[in-house]
Amino acid sequence: MKVSAFEVASRYVYPSLRRRLVQVLREKGLKQDEIAELLHITQSAVSRYLRKDRGALIDVEQFKDIDEKVGEIAEWVIEERPSEYEIHKALVKLTLEMLGKGYVCSFHSLIDPTLNPEECNVCLELFT
């Protein structure tokens, strides 16, 4: 396997979850600078997520259970104003949940043609 599950998680899944979180916060009426402050990122990063210049390769909305949890994280961020580490922890947990449910297998096989999803159970075994 040339591209590991951890590479897929850090390079594609996590940024896609963060992009969706930014999008949900925007849908709730927050401005870019407000989102940046809440998520402890730059306004420029928020803009890139909204333009889909970053984190757009995996459509998180297609996984309804995950998308619902992103919505819950958005509410939590607005209400509690957690630290950047707490937000990071929540997004990493959600990243691992996506891997454990096999939601990323077909995408992984697209970026690593040597991967056979029918033979690989790494994420399903490690993250469920």
What would the pLDDT profile of 39-78 be if each residue is shown by its tens digit? 999 999 999 999 999 999 999 999 999 999 999 999 999 9
For the record, the structure tokens of 99 come out as 């891997």
Average pLDDT in the chain: 95
Distance CA 76, CA 73 (A): 5
The CA-CA-CA angle for residues 13, 111, 119, to 5°, reads 95
For the record, the structure tokens of 26 come out as 């925007």
Query: For the chain, where are the E strands, in sequence order?
Result: none
Predicted confidence at residue 1, as pLDDT, reads 55
Task: Judge whether 66 and 26 are in contact, CB under 8 Å.
Answer: no
Which DSSP symbol is given to 60?
A: G
Per-residue pLDDT of 77-100, as tens digits, reads 999 999 999 999 999 999 999 999
